[in-house]
């Protein structure tokens, strides 16, 4: 894989900050959930890239790290338990990264998972690559009554062992200094072969590891995974998240963003445009009532969708950081197994309520092809993204709150139905569940903020910009009469079958670009509640946006993407029309 | 694929049983475990003390406490682990 590294090195060499180029690579290894990412983000700057090895689905981060006068490429290997006989992609990738002979390894030894960490460390040391051990979470040792003689480990294994607290950045400079000195040295660690590994682990543990009799039971958070009170708590957490996302987003929109945009910014934009241009056509395109580019092109992405993006990712990042999601996965595992899925499928599904693209990518961590495909299909069909939800709330809930709740109930029902159908198509059972529940942790505000702001920036770049461009197109085509012509062409479908105004054909075209546009362009048309409900139903099941289709094609195959595209479109138009026709019958 | 290790050492048959038979809150010492790398790495090794924390609903996984760690394990897998009460 030298070519892979080569391209990366070249890319960084071109960057302004790394004039000196990249001198080599350092690998960061350890068990899952031991603070590797925290160390990684302390060691590298903002110039971080997500990469994956060709043919695998596991992503890892890499970024430049400064050691003394030189820059090294720090690669964050996926967290694993075992290097030998790799059983999944994460282990294969980590083993491969180590086989590429990095210049050094930073091994994160978890103070709380001492034995398993040590077992993995021995496997790493067998490769005789210069290694520095960061004994992480050393701050939690004393409260847990744990004492580790890191000097003894250092003497026995002949490797530098340094206590650290990655979440606070404590003593990480010491690790860097040790790394700098270790690189280039010839090392031969005193470690036994595979057969004696657990023996040495147990011996070292009995010599270097002390734990006082516990003051409190270790499973003090066990109640979260018991049917009682775990299930009511899970429901309460989800309800709380749901109401926070909606409430906070609404508040932000109503009291902060709308007053700013409508009361201040748009007034100035309108005055400026009136003063600068005389052409009515141009004025209509820029500040027209319906699709004025400078008005709707700003209001929709930034005042309508952005507030929900912020509130959703704040809630989701908090749940992730606290470590609640794996507990939710355990509670739901039994139910998901009924349709051949693992409980961990809940994580990509929840992510889908933010954006479908990270959700489809997150299916990579699921254990089988069937599960990946099932969950991705569920997300494409019936999980509205946060932008769509924002529009549902702003437009549908504003007209009728019951209609909004019914739409959400339908989406959940659809998830169940899709799960059952896909399980009938492919009867493959889910593999047995076996994973560790990470410790529940208080969120660290700084890291939390970093995560949230990263996701908001991502939305601004990949979500808001295409939306602004799409609105620009609509503004121009509307003014030129192209949309009206399209509407007449699609009239049998749009007004005949769906009972929507002819112009609504626009929404079906734009919905392909971005999911929320299906509904948002209907805003100026003054629809009745029945029409809004029909449109919402269509919008819910309608085509996943172009970017999601592209992601499906990349992650699965073009065929899969096309099949999902056709099925979602047909389902959306069929169900929407069915409702419209039934409503017409009842009201007639 | 995997076999239960140390089956021949299984004596005191009245006190050894599968992990799946533990009651909620009950403790046991692991006596025999299928040879799976991940089980060992999660702390499920011979001689370790485990406590059953929870049996999740809808025949879901068991949650165990081993060495201060919580591990979720499928019931089918738990049935293949032998513990001594």
Domain harbouring B46, CATH code? 2.30.30.90
- β-sheet bridge partners, residue B65: B51, B70
Cα–Cα distance between A251 and A453 in angstroms, integer?
19
The answer to whether residue B10 sits within a structural domain is no
Per-residue pLDDT at B78 exceeds 50? yes
Over residues A191-232, the pLDDT tens digits come to 887 888 888 998 999 898 888 766 555 567 888 888 889 999
Range of the domain at B60: 16-84
Which CATH number applies to A2-211: 1.10.150.120, 3.40.50.300, 3.40.50.150, 3.30.1540.20? Answer: 3.40.50.300
- Domains contained in chain B, number: 1
Alpha helix segments (H runs only) across B23-69: 37-41
- Using one digit for the tens of pLDDT, what is the confidence trace for A48-58? 666 656 555 57
CB contact under 8 A, A434 and B71: yes
What is the number of other CB atoms lying within 10 angstroms of the CB of residue A10? 11
- Residue B20 belongs to some domain of the structure: yes
Indicate whether B2 belongs to any domain.
no
Q: What is the pLDDT of residue A46?
A: 60
**Distance (Å) from the C-alpha of residue A411 to the closest C-alpha of chain B?**
23
Note whether residue B11 is domain-resident. no
Report pLDDT digits (tens) over A300-316: 889 888 998 899 999 98
User: How far, in Å, CA of A429 to CA of A160, rounded?
Assistant: 46
Question: Which residues touch A355 (CB under 8 Å, ≥6 apart)?
Answer: A385, A386, A387, A459, A463
* Mean pLDDT across A20-24: 80
Q: How big is chain B by its Cα radius of gyration, in Å? A: 12
pTM of the predicted protein model:
0.80
Asked if the C-beta of B23 comes within 8 angstroms of chain A's C-beta atoms, the answer is no
Q: Which of A481, A490, A539, A532 has its CA nearest to residue A511?
A: A539
- Does B68 reside within a domain? yes
* Span A244-275, pLDDT tens digits: 998 999 899 999 999 999 999 999 999 999 99
How many Å is the Cα radius of gyration of chain A? 27
A443 DSSP 8-state letter? -
CB contact under 8 A, A330 and B63: yes
Contacts of A418 (CB under 8 A, 6+ apart): A374, A377, A378, A381, A382
User: In Å, what is the CA distance from A120 to each residue of A207, B18, B37?
Assistant: 18, 28, 11
Nearest CA in chain A to B70: A437
Nearest alpha carbon to residue A107 among A193, A202, A180, A35: A35
Mean pLDDT of A543-572: 89
- Closest CB from A198, A333, A335 relative to B40: A198
Helix (H, G, I), strand (E, B) or coil at A210: strand
Selected for mutation to probe chain B from A82, A230, A437 (highest B CB count within 10 Å) is A437
**ipTM score assigned to the predicted complex:** 0.84
pLDDT at residue A328 greater than cutoff 90:
yes
Is residue A330 within 8 A of residue A404, CB to CB? The reply is no
Side-chain-facing half-sphere of A397: CA atoms under 13 Å = 13
Q: Is position B28 within any domain? A: yes
| CB-CB under 8 Å, B56 with A113 | no
Contacts of A79 (CB under 8 A, 6+ apart): A30, A31, A32, A33, A34, A36, A90
Q: Where in chain A is the domain with CATH 3.40.50.300?
A: 2-211
Tell me the count of A-B CB pairs closer than 8 A: 119
Q: Verify whether the Cβ–Cβ distance A330 to B59 is below 8 Å.
A: no
Report the alpha-carbon distance of residue A457 to residue A449 in Å, rounded.
12
């Amino acid at each position: 894989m030298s070519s892979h590294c080569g391209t990366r090195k070249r890319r960084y060499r071109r960057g302004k900050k790394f004039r000196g180029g990249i001198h080599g690579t350092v690998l960061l290894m350890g068990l899952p959930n031991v603070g590797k990412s925290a160390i990684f983000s302390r060691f590298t700057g903002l110039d971080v890239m997500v990469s994956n090895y060709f043919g695998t689905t596991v992503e890892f981060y890499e970024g430049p790290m400064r050691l003394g006068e030189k820059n090294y490429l720090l690669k964050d290997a996926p967290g694993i338990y075992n290097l030998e006989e790799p059983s999944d992609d994460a282990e294969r990738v980590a083993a491969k990264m180590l086989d590429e002979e990095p210049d050094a390894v930073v091994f994160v030894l978890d103070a709380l998972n001492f034995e398993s960490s040590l077992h993995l460390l021995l496997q790493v040391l067998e490769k005789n690559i210069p290694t520095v051990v960061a004994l992480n979470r050393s701050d939690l040792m004393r409260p847990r009554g744990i004492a580790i003689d890191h000097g003894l480990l250092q003497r026995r294994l002949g490797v530098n062992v340094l206590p650290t607290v990655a979440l606070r950045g404590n003593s990480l400079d010491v690790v860097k200094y040790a790394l700098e000195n270790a690189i280039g040295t010839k090392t031969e660690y005193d470690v036994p072969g595979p057969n004696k590994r657990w023996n040495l682990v147990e011996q070292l543990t009995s010599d270097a590891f002390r734990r006082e009799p516990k003051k409190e039971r270790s499973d003090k958070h066990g109640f979260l995974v018991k049917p009682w009170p775990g299930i009511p708590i899970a429901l309460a957490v989800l309800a709380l998240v749901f109401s926070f996302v909606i409430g906070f987003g609404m508040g932000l929109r109503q009291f902060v963003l709308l007053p700013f945009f409508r009361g201040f910014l748009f007034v100035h934009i309108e005055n400026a445009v009136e003063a600068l241009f005389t052409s009515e056509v141009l004025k209509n395109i820029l500040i027209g009532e319906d699709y004025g580019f400078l008005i709707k092109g700003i209001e929709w992405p930034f005042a309508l969708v952005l507030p929900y993006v912020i509130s959703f990712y704040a809630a989701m990042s908090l749940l992730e950081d606290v470590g609640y999601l794996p507990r939710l996965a355990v509670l739901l595992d039994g139910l998901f197994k009924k349709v051949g899925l693992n409980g961990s499928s809940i994580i990509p599904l929840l992510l889908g309520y933010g954006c479908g693209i990270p959700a489809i990518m997150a299916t990579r961590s699921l254990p089988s092809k069937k599960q990946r495909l099932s969950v991705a299909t569920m997300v494409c069909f019936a999980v509205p993204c946060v932008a769509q939800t924002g529009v549902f709330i702003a437009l549908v809930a504003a007209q009728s709150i019951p209609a909004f709740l019914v739409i959400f109930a339908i989406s959940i029902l659809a998830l169940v139905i899709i799960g059952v159908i896909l399980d009938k198509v492919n009867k493959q059972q889910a593999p047995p569940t076996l994973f560790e529940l990470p410790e529940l942790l208080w969120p660290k505000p700084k890291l939390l903020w970093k995560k949230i702001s990263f996701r908001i920036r991502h939305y601004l770049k990949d979500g808001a910009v295409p939306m602004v461009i799409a609105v620009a197109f609509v503004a121009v085509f509307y003014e030129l009469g192209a949309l009206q012509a399209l509407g007449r062409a699609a009239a049998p479908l749009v007004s005949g079958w769906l009972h929507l105004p002819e112009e609504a054909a626009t929404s079906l075209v734009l919905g392909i670009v971005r999911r929320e546009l299906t509904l948002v362009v209907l805003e100026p048309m003054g629809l009745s509640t029945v029409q809004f409900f029909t449109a919402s139903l269509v919008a819910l099941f309608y085509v996943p946006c172009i970017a999601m289709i592209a992601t499906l094609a990349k992650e699965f195959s073009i065929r899969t993407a096309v099949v999902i595209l056709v099925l979602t479109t047909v389902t959306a138009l069929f169900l929407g029309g069915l409702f419209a026709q039934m409503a017409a019958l009842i009201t007639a | 694929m995997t076999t239960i290790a140390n089956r021949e050492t299984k004596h005191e048959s009245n006190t050894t049983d599968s992990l799946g038979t533990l009651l909620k809150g009950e403790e046991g010492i692991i006596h025999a475990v299928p040879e799976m790398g991940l089980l060992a790495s999660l702390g499920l090794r011979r001689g370790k003390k485990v406590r059953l924390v929870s049996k999740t609903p809808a025949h879901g996984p068991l949650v165990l406490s081993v060495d201060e760690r919580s591990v979720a394990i499928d019931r089918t897998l738990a049935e293949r682990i032998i513990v001594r009460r």
